[in-house]
Amino acid sequence: MNRRTEHDTREHLLITGEQLCLQKGFTGMGLSELLRTAGVPKGSFYHYFRSKEAFGVAMLEHHYAGYNHQLAQLFNHGAGNYRDRLQTYFQQALSQFCNSGAISGCLTVKLSAEVCDLSEDMRGALEQGTSRVVALIATALEQGRQEQSINFVGDAPALARTLYALWLGANLQAKILRAPAPLESALAHVNRILAAPASASAPDAA
């Protein structure tokens, strides 16, 4: 087996596992189902991963590598100013939910409550992945403040943590309710926080 084939097989297992976890969760995804769906023999799985838990860590690292790359591309090269790009990020989950009736494509929402008590290594992978998301939001906030498209007081990382926690909670509530109302409410709050600075000072009261 050459290195190219090994990389492709490992990548295929990670992508297949992510899709199954998004449907059934990590505990609900059996190894036999993963191998059958991926069309990979059991021996090959243990060539790449020493255990299901090790696979879970690698899957989360793979997921966040792609997710954070996409987020960095949006913030650095997306349409509009940094305020527009941040609003696009938060709007995407709401649009997705309204179109499909579900939150899809986010392992943070799907697995955080499940695996944090199940595996310390997987919890660590979640922490590292989400910390990078928060760092990217913080950088975009600070860039927005510098270009004067966003006005906020205080520390950009602290605000980024608040916004991410708000949005993650809204995603979980929308999942429970099977309704977009929590996301709509959270988005309205985000938009107020990201309000553009006034172009001129308000006139003094008479």
Q: Would you list the domain boundaries of the chain?
A: 1-48, 56-193
Show Cβ contacts of residue 31 under 8 Å, excluding neighbours closer than 6 positions: 42, 45, 52
What per-residue confidence (pLDDT) applies to 198? 58
Asked if residues 135 and 157 have their Cβ atoms less than 8 Å apart, the reply is: yes
Q: Per-residue pLDDT averaged across 62-73, rounded?
A: 96
Of the listed ranges 1-5, 93-97, 167-171, the one predicted with least confidence: 1-5
Q: Where is pLDDT greater, at 102 or 95?
A: 95
150/139 Cα distance (integer angstroms): 12
**pLDDT band at residue 101 using 50, 70 and 90 as cut-offs:** low
The whole-model pTM stands at: 0.88
pLDDT at 131 over 80: yes
pLDDT of 98 above 60: yes
CATH 3.30.70 fits 1-48, yes or no: no
pLDDT classification of 130: cutoffs 50, 70, 90: very high
pLDDT at 144: 96
Q: Is the pLDDT of residue 201 over 70?
A: no
Categorize the per-residue pLDDT at 31 as very low, low, confident or very high, splitting at 50, 70 and 90: very high
One CATH from 1.10.357.10, 1.20.1050.10, 3.80.10.10, 2.120.10.30 for 56-193: 1.10.357.10
pLDDT at 97 (0 to 100): 82
Each residue's pLDDT tens digit, 148-177: 999 998 999 999 999 999 999 998 899 889
- From residue 77, alpha-carbon distances to 7, 86, 100, 139 in Å are 29, 12, 27, 14
Tokens of 128: 């590292």
Higher pLDDT, 96 or 50: 50
Q: What is the mean pLDDT of residues 122-149?
A: 97
